Structure 1
Amino acid sequence: MATNEPADFHAIYNGLVADVRSEYLSSSQTFPWIVGFSGGKDSTLVAHLVFSALLDVSPSRQIRPVHIVANDTLVESPLVSAHLHQSLQEIRNAADTLKLPITVATTTPKDEHTFWVLLIGKGYPSPNSQMRWCTDRLKIQPTSNYIRNQVAACGSAIILLGVRRDESEARRKRIDSYGNGMDSRLHPHKDLQGAFVYRPIVDLSTDHVWEILASHEPPWGGTHDRLIKLYRDAAGGECPIVLSQEDAPGCGTNSSRFGCWTCTVVEKDKSLQGFVDSGNRQYSPLIEFRDWLREIRNDPTLRQGRRRNGKITVINDKLIPGPFTLDARRMILERLLQTQQAYGDTLITEHEIDTIQRIWVNDLLAMNTPGDDA
C-alpha cells in the first residue's frame, strides 16, 4: 500500500474497506455476495475492496461465499476482453493461494443466443437504440440466471455493483429513489426476486476512484497500470454490468464504450478507434466491419417483408421490415470470415457457424419459426 498518498484518500480507502468488512460480517452473512465485474475502473475498485476486506477477516469468520462474476458476450472489444480474463485469472490464483472463499466465474450467452447466431443465423437486424435485442440475450439473461441459481440454493443473494451517483444525473436520481431493504446499505433488486443490491462506492467521484486505484496496488498482486493504460488508449468508458432493462441505457452509449466491438447502437466506436489511434492498427478491420454492419441495417433490399413469426408489421402506413434475408445473412458471414482472416484471430467459432447453417436449413424448409419476435 502506498505511503505517500494524501491523507484524505488514505482515510477514504480505509473507510471503504472497513465498511465492506462490516457488511461482510453482518447478520445476512449466510447469503452469498456476487460482485459484478466488468474489468472497468468501478467494478475493479469494488473487487479490490472486497478482496482487501476479506484479508482483514479471520479465516474462522470467512463464512460468506463471494462470487466475482464477469459477463463475456463473446464479442467483447479484444483488448478489453484480454484485460478482463487476465484480471480474473489473477484474482482466481491469489484467492486459491490465500484460501479465500472466492469463486471466479464468467457468464456467456446460450449457444442459440450468441450475437452471430441471432444476427447471421436468424437474421436479427443490426441492433439500434429502438431494437437493442443484444442486451437482454448477451448480458442480462446469462448473469441473471447465475444470480437466480444462487438465490435458489441459498435463499437470497447480495449483488455488489460499482455504480456511483457521480456517473450521471439520471444515475443519481435513480439511486436516490431506491428505498432500503434488509438494512441501510441494501435495497431489493427490482427484477431479481430474492436478490439485494449493495453499492460500496456509490458516493465516490470519478477522481476518487482513480486516485485510490493509482495509489493502492491490487490485493491480488501486480498493479492497476494495465487498467489505467486501457482507459488512456481507448478514450472512452466501459459498458457496465447490466442486470435489468433499467440499466440497459448504460450499454452502448457514447459515454460508456468498453463493450462489444460489434456494437451498432452507437454511431462511432470511439474506444476501438482510440486503440487504433494508440498504435493497435490490427483492430482496423473490426472497425470497418462494424461500420458496414451498421450501414446495411436499413437497406430494404436486404430485409424480409415478414418477421420470423410470419407477421407483417405496419406502423403509420409504413412497412416495418423483418429479419435479414438469407442472401444477406450469407453475405454477412462471408464478410465476417474475410474480416477474421484480416484480423488474424477468431471472431466467430466453428460451433456458431454450424448452428447458423442448421438455422438456414430450417428456414429454407419453413421460413417462419413460431415464437421468435425479431
Structure 2
Amino acid sequence: MRIAAATDLFAADSGEAPWSDIRRAIADEYAASHALPWIVGFSGGKDSTLVAHLVFEHLLSLPRSARRRPVHIVANDTLVESPLVIAHIRAVQDEMRNAASAFDLPVTVATTAPDPEHTFWVNMIGRGYPSPNRTFRWCTDRMKIQPTSRYVRQQVDASGEVVLLLGVRRDESATRAGTVARYDNGERLNRHNDLQGCWVFRPIVELSTEDVWEFLGTENPPWGGSHARLIKLYRDAGGGECPVVTAKSDAPSCGTTSSRFGCWTCTVVDKDRSLAGFVEAGFGEFTPLLDFRDWLVSIRNDPERRLARRRDGRVLIAPNGVHVPGPFTLATRAEILTRLLALQERVGRQLIMPSEVDRIRALWAKDALDGAERSAAG
C-alpha cells in the first residue's frame, strides 16, 4: 500500500487552521488504491466529533459510485458513562444513522461495551476489586481498550487491514503530545503499536483547541442539527471528554487530573470536576451520583473493608515490607450493591443491569464456597 508522507497533510504554514489541507488529506486517503475500511473513534467530544464531521462531509461530497470504502463510526459505552454524556452520544449517533440511511452512505454507527464478565460493577461488587486509582487502573483496559480493540480486530479479520481515524492533537496536552510522538514515522498512516493490521490516521493532529472550537461553533454537522448541544455540554461540565483509548500506553489520558467527562463512577481522579460542573450548571439530580462516587473513594483503603488475601489465596507483601490488602470483603460488596440499588431507585435511571446483579450473586456464592474450602483445608 502506498502511504502518503506526513508533509502532505499540511502543505504550508500559513499561521491559520489549514482546513483545505486537512480536507485534501482526507480526500486523498479515501481515494487511495486500496479500499481498507475506515474506523472513526468517536467519544462524543470535540475532537472526535470534528473528525466524524469532516469524514461525513467528504462522503456527502462524493458521487455514489465513489463511496466505495466503508466507514465505521464507533463509540464506546463503559455502561457507567456520565448520564448527560451518553445521552448526547446516543442522540448524535441516531442523527448519523438517519443521515447515512437517507443519503445512502456506506456508514455503520456502532457502540462497543465491556464483556459482561468485566463490567465495572461485576468486577468491583462481584469480585471485590477496590475502587480504581492511578496505581491500579483496572477499569480502562477492561471497559475501554478491550471492547474497542475487539471491534477493530473483527474488521481486520474481515478485511485484512483497517485504517483507524483518531481525533488526537499534539496541542491537547503534554501526555497527548507524547502519544503523538510515539506514532510519528514521517508518514500519513502509522502502524498501530498494539493492533496488528491497523493503521492510524490523525487528520487534525496539528490543530489547536481554538481551531477546533471555531470550526464547531461556525459549521453545522453534515448529519443535521448543530454542534450547540456539544458546546453546551462542555460549558456545563467545565472540562472535556475521556477520549477513545485503544492501547494501554494511552491510558493516562483517561482519568487524569484534568476535568474530563466520562464515567460517573471514576475514582481515579481526586475530584470529579465535570460531574460537579453539571450539578453547578443546574443538574442537581446528579448530586447523589457525585456523593456515591465520593463514598467509593472514601472506603477504598479502609483495612476493615479489605480481605488479607488476594483472590488467588496469596498474601501479598510489597518490596518495602508493607502488606497489600486484597479485594473488598463480601460484607462491603453487599453494602455497595445495596446502596447502588437504592441510588438507582432514588434517581430513577438504570445504574446497574439485572444481568450484572445475577452475575455478582453467582460470584459471591463461588467466593463463599472457596473460602469455606480454604478454611476446611487449613
For the criterion TM > 0.5, the same-fold answer is: yes
In structure 1, the partner of 2:170 is: 165
Whether the 8 Å contact between 2:179 and 2:250 is mirrored in structure 1 is no
| Deviation larger for 162-171 or 84-93 | 162-171
- Please state if 1:292 is matched with 2:299: no
- Asked whether 1:224 is paired with 2:235, we answer no
1:114 is the counterpart of 2:114: no
Give the aligned partner of residue 95 of structure 1.
Answer: 100
CA deviations over 1:114-173 (Å, ceiling 9, x no partner): 000000001000000000000000000000000001111101011000000101233224
Tell me what 2:82 maps to.
77
SS in 2 for 1:217: coil
CA apart distance, 1:176: 3.1
2:268 maps to: 265
- The structural deviation recorded for 1:317 is 1.7
Whole-angstrom CA distance in 1 between matches of 2:372 and 2:185 = 47
SS state at 1:141 partner: helix
* Equivalent residue for 2:332, pick from 328, 331, 347: 328
Question: Structure 1 residues 313, 159: CA separation in 2 closer, same or farther (over 3 Å shift)?
Answer: same
Displaced runs of 4 or more, over 6 A:
8-11
Query: 1:39/1:336 Cα in 2 relative to 1: closer, same or farther (>3 Å)?
Result: same
Flag the 1:109–1:101 CA change in 2: closer, same or farther, 3 A.
same
Cα displacement (A) at 1:267: 0.7
Distance 1:12 1:189 in 2: 25
Tell me if the contact between 2:17 and 2:207 (Cα under 8 Å) persists in the aligned partners.
Answer: no
Change (3 A) 1:55 1:90: same
Which position in structure 2 is the counterpart of 1:359?
Answer: 363
Tell me which residue corresponds to 1:128.
133
What is the Cα deviation at residue 367 of structure 1?
3.7
Q: Rate the CA distance shift 1:367–1:159 in 2: closer, same or farther, 3 A.
A: farther
Aligned length in residues: 359
Counterpart-to-counterpart distance in 2, 1:136 and 1:55? 35
Q: What TM-score, normalized to structure 1?
A: 0.93
Q: Work out the percentage of aligned pairs sharing the same amino acid.
A: 58
Give the Cα separation in 2 of the matches to 1:16 and 1:237: 23
- After superposition, residues 274-289 of structure 1 pair within 5 angstroms as 274-289=277-292
SS in structure 2 of the partner of residue 175 of structure 1: helix
**Structure 2: any 5+ residue segments left out of the alignment?**
1-13, 374-378
| SS of equivalent residue, structure 2 residue 271 | coil
The superposition leaves residues 309-365 of structure 1 with CA deviations (integer Å, 9 ceiling, x where unpaired) of 111100122110000010010001011112112211111111111111111111111
Question: Where does residue 197 of structure 2 map in the other structure?
Answer: 194
- Structure 1: runs of 5 or more not aligned: 1-7, 370-374
Task: Classify the secondary structure of the residue corresponding to 2:39.
Answer: strand
Q: Write the letter of the residue equivalent to 1:197.
A: V
- Letter aligned with residue 278 of structure 2: F
Can you list the C-alpha shifts for 1:246-270, whole angstroms capped at 9, x where unaligned?
A: 1100001122511100000001100
Of 17, 27, 33 in structure 1, the residue corresponding to residue 23 of structure 2 is 17
Q: Does residue 291 of structure 2 align to residue 250 of structure 1?
A: no
Q: Map Cα deviations across residues 38-90 of structure 1 (whole Å, 9 max, x no partner).
A: 00000000000000011122211111110000000000000001001111111
What do residues 173-224 of structure 1 show as CA deviations (whole Å, max 9, x unaligned)? 432343438xx21000000011010001001000000000111100000000
- Conserved? CA contact 1:308–1:367, under 8 Å: no
**1:120–1:330 CA contact under 8 A, matched in 2:** yes
Q: Which TM-score applies when normalising by structure 2?
A: 0.92
Q: CA RMSD in A?
A: 1.7
1:307 corresponding residue in structure 2: 310
1:67 paired residue among 63, 72, 79: 72
**What is the identity, as a one-letter code, of the residue corresponding to 2:192?**
H
| Residue 54 in structure 1 maps to residue 55 in structure 2 | no
Is 1:153 the equivalent of 2:158?
yes
